[in-house]
Chain A
Amino acid sequence: MKYARLIWVNLTRNKRRTILTALSVAAALFLFVALRSVNTTLDDARQVGSESRMMVRNAISVVFPLPEAYHSWISTVPGVRRVTWGNWFHGIYQDRRDFFPSFAVDVDGYFDIYPEMVVPEDQEQAFRRERTAALVGTGLMERFGWRLGQTISLTSLIYSPDQAWPFTIRAVYTPLPGWTDEAFYFHYDYLYEMSEWTQPGWYILELEDPSLAATIAATIDEHYENSRYATRTETERAYLAGIASMYGNVGLLINAVGIAVFFAILLVAANTMMMAARERASEVAVLKTLGFSDRLLFGLVLAEAAAITAIGGLLGVVGAKLLFEGTGFQGMGLLPGFEVKLRTATLGVSIAIVLGLISGLLPAWQAARLPVARTLRRVA
């Protein structure tokens, strides 16, 4: 388009101002896209869990355990096909900031209930046989550069923090889509022997029919209602949604930040365009003497405003995408990988462009209505 150069030279004539404006828009959009991605990821998390698996946890909080004796009774509840259990280990490898999810699990039952992890047959046998064996996700293997057969040492933030726990990696799983590739599993028996007071953290049930979930939950929770360890039973999906909501009411936060961001963009861009338009009044007047119409000049100013915010918006979105996907943050391994969705990116850039157009409206209108004779007289 033949006017592109005119827009471009105008954008670049005050480079510092244009860059600062674009960067402000970029920062605002970065924030917006980042928060929105947290939200979409949490929404996804609410969809991850299976409807045919249920979690039984301590009614007070997931951090309190449940007695081992519950296993046999829960197994008898009609509609429950299988029961297994797991425990949160909170293992640390070298650096405690390098977080990954680690679980002590009932090896005999756990992997039957979780088909999401694909393990070669021979490795699975090797893992089952050895008390100190570990099963590790491909992503975690890669992250720490571990090899199959390697013995590594973890410490736990929960169980005697000073103690070193040796594990030998006997199996590596490949996750099905939606499952984390960074989890670490080992024998509950090992944990039980090393610490006297261990109890299952939660039970996992496999249902014969998802439609029985409500009845089963009511049966179990009523049964233990008045015991020392009251339970809370919910589908895995509901359970994960509960964990996701521990991250706070993100939706509200996003709306608040979103509105602030929009105003920031609007003000910054509008300010820049007003300044630019004021400086260029005489040039606009000259263009009018050449026959540039009011409408064309209106469009040129709008296009310039939109170009600045579009560039800034793109920067912010790309920045958010790189940062999120570069860190591979997975929220305790319980969430699907964080991702800036195309939908979010498009929304962000569109918002930036629309706000750019809005911010350009006033200066564009001023340019269109500029009185030529009086403006030229002022500079001459």
Chain B
Amino acid sequence: MSAAASGPSGHASGTASADRPLLSIADLAVDFGTVGGPVHAVREVSLDIAPGEVVALVGESGSGKSVTALTLLGLTRGPRTTVRGSATFDGLDLLVAGDRELRDIRGKRIAMVFQDPMSSLNPVLRVGVQIAEQIRAHEPVSKGEALRRAIDALREVGIPEPADRANRFPHEFSGGMRQRVMIAMALSCRPELLLADEPTTALDVTVQAQILDLLMRLRDERGMAVLLVTHDLGVVAETADRVAVMYGGRIVEEAPVEPFFADPRHPYSWGLLGSIPPMAGARPERLPTIAGTPPSPSALPDGCAFRTRCPHAFENCAALPPLVDHDPAHADRCWLPLERKQALRDLGDGRIGLAA
């Protein structure tokens, strides 16, 4: 990382993690009761985010990424939910904070972009009014001023004719426009921490690049921290300082972005990196996948949750491996000796993957 220019390319990975964390999650566990039995959605998740840091949370569909983010804002609370652990934000444990305390923080100091835009927009309110109300809930500004800021926010996320569009209802927007409305709303109160759950899935790559530029600019200018939940490893490589990989409710690997791509340590990470469809060269008839089906979240195997699908599993894996730091800031949860991993993950011609 020698590029010293401004913007995302200039931000050396890991520099921010030396600061005091803005958010510190420790041993988070979330269980849900369902008619089919208890679901252990998140277990033993610990993660720090420093001011100005971008931490990518990646991992298997259903591994607990959204539940982790939602729980931080109290949005999974309910009679059938059990939450354990702590999540300290500026001295306050978000997991036990009262509804009022949380409401003051939510939207103002910590904002969230939800994975499902439609479910978090009010279908019967004009989009501009929704953003303006969000601003007025946290700042003493006039209606007119709030609406003007809402229109600016829409312009900033690339919505054409923002003043006209502010007068329209969510169903009149395309999928990607709704996603950008949510981003505009989340950014409108200048949060210190943005929880962005798949914020660019509905965007074409050129608009996505503009949105990522915007997020990186806010990071550089205001020191906004971002927890970026995404499955797009290209986006991770472009924007993240650090990467945490989840599987079966747990973090199985955590590393600064460059070592994650160059020297991934957990076999699930190898499988993930090996499944990326190539953008050049011959098109394979079938893409490599991870064999087997993901374990049911209500019946996760004992020990390493990945062992039922891991071609390198051995007897130790029946016990849960700890998350161990082998290098500073690069941890993984796997019993395989570090020396063997390099050979096991190598697919030849420089590619990393999970050979069957």
A-B interaction? no
